[in-house]
Amino acid sequence: MRIIVVADTHRDYYMLKEVVEKNLDADAFIHLGDGENELRDMQQLFPDKTFYFVQGNRDYASKAKVTDILHLGGKKILITHGHHYDVRETIDNLVNTAKENDVDIALYGHTHLYSSTIIDGIYVMNPGSLHAPRGRRYRSYGTIDINGDDIDINITEIKG
């Protein structure tokens, strides 16, 4: 199973559309917040694709969940924007919540800085931002490939 993970598109419809079009073979797309409007546009453009979304701190009046747990490819995946976990300071709160919920993968956004690591057996990823990356980094998104017990997580930078 292939999952594409994006965050912080901040109304950048064209960049999100480009990522979806490049990854039409993906089984699911996860948006980690701050981009509900353009995500809804993608759902209309690609009705045969599966999209998941959580509310970001800039998704005003959103009725989406702040945190959710998905079951995809035989794995439990915690998804959140991250602002309720104070991820700009530390990811400890997020990791503790992941442990409490016995998840395999924890995904968050909000910082606009991509990262990928394994902490206490939990794959933790921030895909960065498709709109406004920070830290002199490129725009980016994440890819998760699940094949049985194997989990492969990667960050793709969009240069140019």
- pLDDT band at residue 102 under the 50/70/90 scheme: very high
Whether residue 137 has pLDDT greater than 90: no
SS3 letters across 49-92? CCEEECCCCCCCCCCCCCEEEEEECCEEEEEECCHHHCCCCCCH
30 forms beta bridges with 5, 52
Domain 2-158 architecture: 4-Layer Sandwich (3.60)
Residues 28-56: pLDDT tens digits?
Answer: 999 999 999 999 999 999 999 999 999 99
Which pLDDT score is estimated for 160? 72
* pTM flag (> 0.85): yes
Max CA pair span of the chain: 40
Residues 67-78: pLDDT tens digits?
Answer: 999 999 999 999
Distance CA 2, CA 73 (A): 9
